[in-house]
């Protein structure tokens, strides 16, 4: 099967692309926390959550390590690595400010940390990295209603939708740092509220296998479409390292972290297949055809137990994605890709 467009690599703009942007600071003392915006309220709740910090750092730690090992865009890798170190420091400073009952300082440091994460992503992936991050936030919002995916799913769905909309609005206003900041916050909230890994069919162990399947399926599709561009080569290498990291987390007994890394592996492979120039309606329809074709093959295996649960999940994902495509909303492409990966794993 051929992907509908051969993807063109996004120019590697490097960290200096956003160097002149205002990093965004809290300009007024936030003494009365009841007066905070919804966005700042969420950020304040996340500051002391270790899993939220790791969720943000997961977005860059693996890509930075991959770039360093493969020598992909060395100048960008150095800038990204520096931003990554500073981001972790700012997150730590935010916790200290929170412990000192300085909510304004905590919010300021956390915002700086999120924007450093965005700078690192741009250093490695160019300006298109922000657009892809916004798409990630929209995908998280779209998936918020899936059974067993989140704790407090209704309220969380409203939060993620609000964050995704604000991220998109800021991107349209050419506020790249602000858009990325909001999208990173959505990633953190998603990670904090993610449901029990045991609710995932097959648990974290199957999720880790799905990460590897996503990499192999994406590689095959890209090869069939004429071979990878430089950008696609980079994305596939990062996705493979996410899959490896997910397996390492599983072996270390951290199922929740393994599940998050699996999701990032799947997201990165989707980028390699339908990005970096954005998802077209045509590509979304091609993805729908792929998912349906793989589903038919998986159903023919007469699955039982965990495989039957996975097939049912894939069916729900296809229904959601098809509705989105029919409404001319390529936003459903993520669900279709996940369904295709699930079914490919079943027929491997």
Structure tokens at 273: 């297949």
Q: Of 45-59, 96-110, 313-327, which gets the smallest average pLDDT?
A: 313-327
**Chain segment 139-154, per-residue pLDDT in tens:** 888 776 655 566 556 6
> Which residue would you say has higher pLDDT here, 36 or 95?
95
Three-class secondary structure of residue 11 per DSSP: coil
The average confidence (pLDDT) of the chain is: 85
Between CA 105 and CA 94 the distance in angstroms is 7
**Chain segment 252-307, per-residue pLDDT in tens:** 999 999 999 999 999 999 999 986 566 777 888 889 999 999 999 999 999 999 99
Structure tokens at 31: 């003494």
**Chain segment 204-242, per-residue pLDDT in tens:** 999 999 999 999 999 999 999 899 998 899 999 999 999
Question: Residue 203 pLDDT > 60, yes or no?
Answer: yes
Q: How confident is the model at residue 348, as a pLDDT?
A: 82
Q: Of 24-33, 157-166, 221-230, 337-346, which gets the smallest average pLDDT?
A: 24-33
Say how many CA atoms lie within 13 Å of 141 toward its Cβ. Answer: 23
Q: How confident is the model at residue 14, as a pLDDT?
A: 31
Question: Residue 3 carries which DSSP code?
Answer: -
Between CA 336 and CA 327 the distance in angstroms is 15
User: Is-contact 233 275, C-beta < 8 A?
Assistant: no
- From 210, 226, 227, 242, select the one nearest 342 (Cα to Cα): 210
Q: How confident is the model at residue 326, as a pLDDT?
A: 80
- Count CB-CB contacts under 10 A for residue 97: 19
Q: Of 9-13, 14-18, 90-94, 178-182, which gets the smallest average pLDDT?
A: 9-13
Q: How confident is the model at residue 285, as a pLDDT?
A: 87
Burial class of residue 173 (count of CB atoms within 10 Å of its CB; 0-12, 13-18, 19+): exposed
Q: How confident is the model at residue 241, as a pLDDT?
A: 98
* Positive/negative CA dihedral, 148, 150, 156, 158: negative
> Which residue would you say has higher pLDDT here, 329 or 17?
329
- From 91, 97, 95, 92, select the one nearest 111 (Cα to Cα): 91
Which of 22-31, 36-45, 80-89 has the largest mean confidence?
80-89
Between CA 301 and CA 298 the distance in angstroms is 5
């Amino acid at each position: 099967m051929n992907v509908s467009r051969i993807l063109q690599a996004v120019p590697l703009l490097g960290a200096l692309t956003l160097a002149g942007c205002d990093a965004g600071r809290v300009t007024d003392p936030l003494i009365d926390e009841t007066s905070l915006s919804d966005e700042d309220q969420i950020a304040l709740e996340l500051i002391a959550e270790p899993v939220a910090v790791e969720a943000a750092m997961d977005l860059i730690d693996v890509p930075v390590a991959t770039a360093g090992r493969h020598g992909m865009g060395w100048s960008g890798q150095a800038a990204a690595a520096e931003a990554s170190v500073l981001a972790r420091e700012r997150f730590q400073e935010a916790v200290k400010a929170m412990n000192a009952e300085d909510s304004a300082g905590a919010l300021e440091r956390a915002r700086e940390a999120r924007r450093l994460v965005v700078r690192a992503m741009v250093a490695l992936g160019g300006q298109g990295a922000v657009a892809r991050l916004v798409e990630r936030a929209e995908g998280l919002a779209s998936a918020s209603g899936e059974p067993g995916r989140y704790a407090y799913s209704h309220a969380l769905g409203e939060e993620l939708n609000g964050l995704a909309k604000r991220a998109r609005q800021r991107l349209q206003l050419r506020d790249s740092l602000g858009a990325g900041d909001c999208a990173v916050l959505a990633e953190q909230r998603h990670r904090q509220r993610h449901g029990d890994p045991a609710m995932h069919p097959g648990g974290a162990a199957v999720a880790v296998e799905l990460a590897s399947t996503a990499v192999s399926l994406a590689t095959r599709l890209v090869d069939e479409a004429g071979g990878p561009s430089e950008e696609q080569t980079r994305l596939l290498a990062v996705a493979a390292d996410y899959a490896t990291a997910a397996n390492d987390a599983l072996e270390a007994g951290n199922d929740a972290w393994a599940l998050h890394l699996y999701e990032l592996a799947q997201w990165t492979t989707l980028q390699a297949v339908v990005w970096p120039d954005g998802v077209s309606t045509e590509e979304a329809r091609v993805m729908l055809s792929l998912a349906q074709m793989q589903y038919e093959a998986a159903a023919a295996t007469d699955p039982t137990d965990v495989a039957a649960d996975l097939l049912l999940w894939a069916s729900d994902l296809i229904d959601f994605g098809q509705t989105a495509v029919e409404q001319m909303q390529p936003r459903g492409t993520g669900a279709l890709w996940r369904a295709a990966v699930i079914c490919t794993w079943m027929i491997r």
